[in-house]
Structure 1
């Protein structure tokens, strides 16, 4: 969804044509490898599966490296160890705005529409699949807090909102509900990005984001679904214009720059 929203033409090349422009790696870990390693180590640590996060990091790096090089392993281990140590000992404890309650981690990499799990129907005949990094639960209030790990300051707030709707439906039978959510960054100045809280009313659900201008602070469910509908209609009607027609900002660092 974000790929199409950023640049329909890039979406077309990636998901319709299936064009692969990935660079051949020689030694180091790719950005995707790093993300998978971070997620695996943090999942095992906070779930209690493996509290020795350094051992978990070592195992995961060895699994992803294509070459058996002690020099490369040592370099990657020291680099990722520094990031994870800072997150586990410092950044994790910095609670985002609106997160009030006795929350403890209780669900990790909650999949929907992946493997044997069923996708979640957001609207009529539109199903979403993905994986929620982590959900924390305050058992006394039945409130959940949604956490999505990000290496840097990337991340679309609409992803958080869509995942919060998904989590509500996945845990509806247990009486749990999403009270808020956040992107927890592993590096960078901002620790808690796009922190929000859920506002429920008789009219419609809405979300309030912290640290935003008043005019941009509230997002209504009807507006989110309108954005979603436009993307779905664009894809099914075959509209894939390049983003530079609207703005050239999305073209920087585009993996399809040569194709465009």
Structure 2
């Protein structure tokens, strides 16, 4: 890993502070329980780009996407506004981490692929795409992807949806609805390519499943507001719906918006 300094100039919006604080306070929980994107996604991304010299993963969090890209690109710049999240990211000789929102510090036209995993809804699109346009090589690809509600069993899903839609309703950031709609209302300046379907699959014990929901930003806000009892009730209801099964298959459908800049 090549460490780089934090940003050295002001950025055009306050997004850094906005989405950095949502995850900085529970970076270890986030790193421990977030699901892993499928290998097929990374193979597909590597197959749609012309070159494999440089990738830039924006909003890298704990470096999950950056590490996968490092197996497919010569160099990876991984940026995130949260120092706590970056501290949880593993080192890799091909990955350089930088604490910033959009300032990649990369040369003009040097990037073959820009990725944003589960984070584009936090971004101010105008300053972000100004930087993307500067660094992306001719024919380079931009790809934003995210996962939506998990599926386990009808009983577990009903408990989880009530928790998401009712218990946590007042604690979701306004941008959260963009994930639920698949980023379709976001005006991305790209000519989109056809994307195959992807999903995340994981065999999880009930405590792992509950740990994932503890990592939600809305759960953390609920806890900060004194809602520990609400979280415990949700967890008890999930355990009851889960039953005596040791592990269950959990599926997260995904969506991807990808293409070349107009």
Normalising TM by the smaller chain, what interval?
Answer: under 0.3
| TM-score (normalised: structure 2) | 0.23
